[in-house]
Amino acid sequence: MNDKRIYNILFHTHTISGIVISVLLYVIFFAGSFSFFRDEIINWERNNTVNNTEALQMDFDVALDSLNTSYNLNSRDLELSKHFIEQRIGITMSAPKDTLNLANIETPDYFTLDTKDYSEKTYAEQYTLGEFLYRLHFFAQMQPIGYILAGFVSFFFLFAIITGVIVHWSKIVSNFYTFRPLAKLKTLWTDAHTALGVIGLPFQFVYAVTGAFFMIKAIIIAPTVMLLFHGDDARFYKDLGYSHPEYEYTNTPLNKEFSLNYYVNKTEDLWPDFDVTQIHIFNYNDANMHVMIEGHLKYENKYTAIGEAIYKVDTNELIHEKNPYQTATYLDGVKNVMFRLHYGDYGGIALKLVSFLLGIISCFVILSGVMIWGVARNKKTTSEKKRRFNEWLVRIYLAVCLSMYPITALSFIAVKINAPASMSFIYKFYFIGWLIFTVFYVLRKDNYFTNKNTLLLGSIFGFLIPITNGVMTNNWIWSSFKNQQFQIFFIDAFWIVLSAITFYVYFKLKQKPKA
């Protein structure tokens, strides 16, 4: 097979793989870009200000007393976890092991606990726009196929990146410095696609790999368990480090006072700069009660350093520890590096802003690729039927993708006016509004109008977001800045800057004369 044949195969493979996943990939990158600010968005929605740390910070003894009043924790296993920087933490608990005396006690699957007033809410009750955008970027709203679909999109995106690099390798440097805005339309889109694609290449490669890792692993778990672990899923999860130890329930009361604050403080004293992120309590108030404290070192000290300590409460003995200052196992290193690379949460707000910018650049690369495909097929040699089909396809692609900007900005206004917004309200408002925008732009049959109008509406709505927040909460942007309410101030300032940029682009965007 000659070189030209290989080149043509790779070129068409790159084109087809890119076109097939283009809309889904755009949604992943657009929603994913805003997901970098998930915590800031949630705190802005709730008008909360929290310390910028993943560490659990609360009076744990008061929290346990509150939970014990509601559910009678005796003989239960209990988990307190914090994965994001917000005022609420996740609570999960087992059914009572003392089935004789506590059989009728309610056992919720999962709920959240406010770290300041100890109020409880179900997952649906505490749902937010920040959570919605975070989950939209891996299609969690489309279960049961959402995760699998996101995984395959990431995989094909990785394939498109590799084939794209191979196709453009010989001219990748020279084409990067070439931009011809006055040339024909296909050349303009090609130059933009190549230059921005090279700029965002490392970012896109990292997110293609980590995205595929997170999503496709759900597909391979079942066959792996059957083939390598002979159906023993418990051993599978234990070997991967996802399971917790089990301790026998003795049905003998604990004959001493128990303080969770004591064990948290004791663990933090073991390792300086250690952030406690998860707490597991086994056999609450039983003689064989154990407490496991998990967490990690601060990211500015060590990129990935997981630690854990397990105590037997009856004797106060430390029976197991994983020192975060020691070299991590290969398995821990792989899992944690994947998480840190994907979340981009180890470099503070500066890294989040850079990641957001690169995510939006990736969105433009996707759109420019679709435009190249559309313009390349708008030839006189192409039949009229195919040309019309291609025009409609590009029009629908652009309408679906570009509508995300105005509906996202409008949703920020809606959740403030309707605060606290319910899960069903966010779903209906976002998806129905997105559909209305899309249908309108498709029927308008003007890609230039779609581009300009989405920029205009998104900018207007964006400017109204801090105004709406000020009106509804009386916490104006200057007040949040003065009171050092960083998360609230950041979102207001972010939308002002983003809207100003897109408003400027709106005025600079000129329609190129048709040939």
**Number of helices and strands in the chain (H, E):** 19, 8
**Beta strand pairing call for 111-114 and 274-282:** unpaired
Q: Residue 129: count other Cβ atoms within 10 Å of its Cβ.
A: 24
DSSP state of 50: -
pLDDT averaged over every residue in the chain: 84
| Angular region, 474: left φ>0, alpha ψ -120 to 50, beta rest | left
pLDDT of residue 488: 96
Please give the torsion angle defined by the CA atoms of residues 116, 112, 273 and 263, in that order, rounded to the nearest 10 degrees.
90
b/e per residue 36-71 (b: at least 16 CB within 10 A): bbbbbbbbbbbbbbbeeebbbbbebeebbebbeeeb
In this prediction, the residues of the chain whose per-residue pLDDT falls under 70 are 1-4, 6-20, 101-104, 168-199, 215-242, 327, 330-331, 376-378, 381, 511-515
- Quote the pLDDT of residue 237: 56
List phi, psi (to 5°) of 79.
-130, 130
pLDDT reported for residue 278: 95
Q: What is the pLDDT of residues 91-128, one digit of tens each?
A: 999 888 887 766 667 777 789 999 999 999 999 999 99
Phi, psi of 208 (to 5 degrees): -65, -45
**Dihedral over alpha carbons 105, 111, 116, 119 (to 10 degrees):** -60
Pull the structure tokens for residue 350.
Answer: 């500066």
Per-residue DSSP letters for 240-256? Answer: TT-----------B--S
| Cα–Cα distance, 345 to 354 (Å, whole number) | 12
Q: How far apart are CA 436 and CA 421, in angstroms?
A: 21
Q: If DSSP states are collapsed to H, E and C, what string results for 127-173? A: CCHHHHHHHHCCCHHHCCCHHHHHHHHHHHHHHHHHHHHHHHHHHHH
Tokens 């805005």 — which residue? Answer: 181
Q: Token digits for 382?
A: 């192409």
Which two three-digit tokens encode residue 114? 């406010």
Q: Please give the structure tokens belonging to residue 67.
A: 């939970």
In this structure, what DSSP letter does residue 263 have?
H
Contact 480, 494 (CB under 8 A): no
Report how far apart, in Å, the C-alpha atoms of 493 and of each of 120, 464, 467, 496, 505 are. Answer: 31, 12, 11, 5, 19
d(CA 109, CA 94): 8
Other C-beta atoms within 10 Å of 202: how many? 10
d(CA 75, CA 478): 50
Q: Is 330 helix (H, G, I), strand (E, B) or coil?
A: helix
Q: What is the pLDDT of residue 31?
A: 96
Residue given tokens 């609570």 in the structure block: 91
Digit-coded pLDDT (tens) for 456-510: 999 999 999 999 999 999 999 999 999 999 999 999 999 999 999 999 989 887 7
User: What are the structure tokens assigned to 199, written together?
Assistant: 């700029």
Please tell me the distance from the alpha carbon of residue 505 to that of residue 59, in angstroms, as a whole number.
Answer: 50
The two most distant CA atoms of the chain are separated, in Å, by: 88
Predicted TM-score (pTM) of this structure: 0.86
Residue with the two structure tokens 């969690």: 140
